[in-house]
Copies of this chain bind each other. A is one copy, B any other.
Amino acid sequence: MPEKFLMTPPIDRSDNIIKNHLFRRQFSLKHLKKKVDDEVVEDLPLKTHIVIIFSEKCKQSTCEDVEKVIQEHGLNTELEILSKTEKFLYVSATTETLLKLADEHGLTKKTVTGTMQRFNRYSVNTFLVGDMTEDDLVINSEAPRLIKDTIKPSLMSYFRNGSIEDFFPLHDIDYLNKFTFKVQRKLPIEDIRNYFGSSIGLYFGFLESYTNALVIPTIFGFLQYYFDFSLVTVCAFYMIWTTVFLELWKRRCSTFSYRWGTIEMTSLDKPRAAYYGDLKPDPITGKMIPHYPMKYTYMQMYLVSYPVVFLCAIASMYFAIYQFQIEAEVLHDFGPDSKLLYVPVIVQSVLIAIFSWAYEKLATFLTVTENHRTRCQYDRHRVNKLIIFEIVNNFFSLFYIAFILCDLKQLKYQLMMQLIIFQLVCIAQEIGIPLMAVIRQKITKYMHTEMDEEQRSNVKDINRYEQSFFEGGLDKYTSTYEDYLQICIQFGYVVLFAAVAPFASLGALINNICAIYIDLFKLCNIFKRPFARRAKNIGAWQSGFEVLSVIAVVSNCGLLYMQDEVRETVGKKFPTMPALTFIIFEHLLLVIKFILHKAIHERPRSIRVAQLIDEHETHQALKHLKSLTAVRKNK
């Protein structure tokens, strides 16, 4: 075995992303070949689902304690202590154990009759659709998640005292091939969900829908520019487009979440690990779980968090206004050609960056103290706070220029500048983050002392060791927050001032096409594999986009009114109430928006029918079994 790896020692493989990619390809080919070579493998070793890396200070006895704790849950473990810095614990599970966990966690799976039912380990056959085997029932992303949910609560003390340094699922290198650029033509959303979980699956689903939808305003933008549409048309068009797009996405989203078995998730599901409170029996399942009074959460939210958020938003507004004043003063004192004009802009940019960073910490802190029960709730409330601030931060100065200074020319200039800077930052982030990762790995390389041949021979499964070591050095994927935020702000630039920026959607379209592939590449190559997160929708982002689409109606109508020629024409026609016409027009658009919103049902009929079929089947099965029991008793 060891000879195979002599030419390329393991450490080299982690030194940069390109080599890593090559390594993976090689590995995968080798693996494939091996499979073909000895087709009848009697005793295939269990697949390692999770790797636990212990910290340097952790003693061997502690490692063994952890192993015992995990084994108590019926999981298989393998402890490998190579040196002081390299202590790995590999966690795996037999199919039987996984099925038991799937049953306990109430996963929803498709049955042979085509309905979605909660998985039941006593009737496994019902869930074996087509040529599935029992091994395929718990999919790639679910196994690590199930194991994590099972063992994490008992390991909390080891996390807290720092014995466990890292805890992550291993990448499945065969599966990753599905995401290489060449193979795919359409975005493989089902595979992404199977591999990364439904939360990331929905992100890509949304990004794809949004990118496709952007084609329409791009074409409209060209027409608007060449044929010089009236602004009334532009307002109406964007109102309809944003509303229909967001409603259709909701329908598509529910199709996904139905198929993925997450549509029935509620805020009363199993609490997240960090949720604290008195241990009480859960009213639903009767298990002992922490219980934190809702009133404290609400008090914290409405009396502390949101007031703070609004203060920050107002502070941000004042800051923007103050900047305009300083700029005006500098212009007045030093004239328009002075290089001093750049000073306030630069100072402000730096301050905004610091302010944003501090605000994110603050929002996270506030949301943590609110102590939401589920991960989805936590994310939603955190994102809510961040969106409010980001919208103010990004768009307030534009509103100020448009409606308080009433300066359309400066608005166009400022909008263009902001848009260009925003796109540049996006590109920089998308290329910069991989670059940073490479540099980091270089440093890791120097820090790492090479392993000698003797140790190498101690390693049981050299591939697994290498993969664990390499992936342990990768960055942790935190959440989809940054990615969604980028699309959300971009959406704002596309719709809020569409009346004066017809080509914003073209830029967004190009940017998004690249973003899809870069995001997927980053997930596969520069981050540790994330634990799958279940999600039934895109959470607070749906509201974020909806809020922007409502503001867009107001702002575009405002822009319409700002146009001098329009104001004059209307003023002549209706001399008593030029503003009234605009108010009526704006309210009319909002009413139509609301009607569209109501008329398009959140879930397609087929999904609603399917849900009722599922429910009916459950009740019929129950009735049937009960009648059998009744007959038996009577006998």
* A622 and B618 form a contact (CB under 8 A): yes
A612 to B264, CA, bound (A): 10
Interface centre among A612, A621, A630 (most CB of B within 10 A): A612
Q: B123, B612, B616, B627: which contacts A122 (Cβ < 8 A)?
A: B627
Q: Which residues of B contact A616 (CB under 8 A)?
A: 284-285
Q: Does A19 contact B (CB under 8 A)?
A: no
Decide: B122 and A284 in contact? CB cutoff 8 A.
no
Please tell me if A605 contacts chain B, counting CB pairs below 8 Å.
yes
Instruction: Determine if B622 and A284 form an interchain contact, defined as CB atoms under 8 angstroms apart.
Output: no
Oligomeric state, in copies: 2
**B123, A626: Cβ atoms closer than 8 Å:** yes
Q: Is A621 a contact partner of B622 (Cβ separation < 8 A)?
A: yes
Contact A612 B118 (CB under 8 A): no
Beta-carbon contact of A605 and B266 below 8 Å: no
**The residue from B106, B268, B612, B623 contacting A609, defined by CB atoms under 8 A apart:** B268
A613 to B266, CA, bound (A): 12
Residue of B608, B628, B630 near A266 (CB, 8 A) is B608
Distance of A383 from chain B, by nearest CB (Å): 15
Contact of A130 with B by CB under 8 A = no
Across the interface, do A613 and B283 meet the contact criterion of CB distance under 8 Å? yes
Complex Cα spacing A613 to B281, Å: 13
Minimum Cβ distance to chain B for residue A282 (Å): 9
By the criterion CB–CB under 8 Å, are B120 and A587 in contact?
Answer: no
Q: How far is the CA of A580 from the CA of B404 in the complex (A)?
A: 10
Query: Is the beta-carbon distance between A284 and B403 smaller than 8 angstroms?
Result: no
Contacts of A283 in B (CB 8 A): 609, 613
Q: Apart from A268-B608, A268-B612, A554-B587, what 15 extra A-B contacts exist at CB < 8 Å? A: A120-B622, A122-B626, A122-B630, A123-B626, A123-B630, A283-B609, A283-B613, A284-B609, A284-B616, A294-B605, A403-B580, A618-B622, A622-B622, A625-B626, A628-B629
Chain A interface (Cβ < 8 Å from any Cβ of B): 103, 106, 118, 120, 122-123, 266-268, 283-285, 294, 403, 554, 579-580, 583, 587, 605, 608-609, 612-613, 616, 618-619, 621-623, 625-630
23 A-B residue pairings within 8 Å (CB atoms): A103-B623, A106-B619, A120-B623, A120-B626, A122-B623, A122-B626, A122-B629, A122-B630, A123-B626, A267-B608, A268-B608, A283-B613, A284-B612, A284-B613, A285-B616, A403-B580, A579-B579, A579-B583, A618-B618, A618-B622, A622-B622, A622-B625, A628-B629
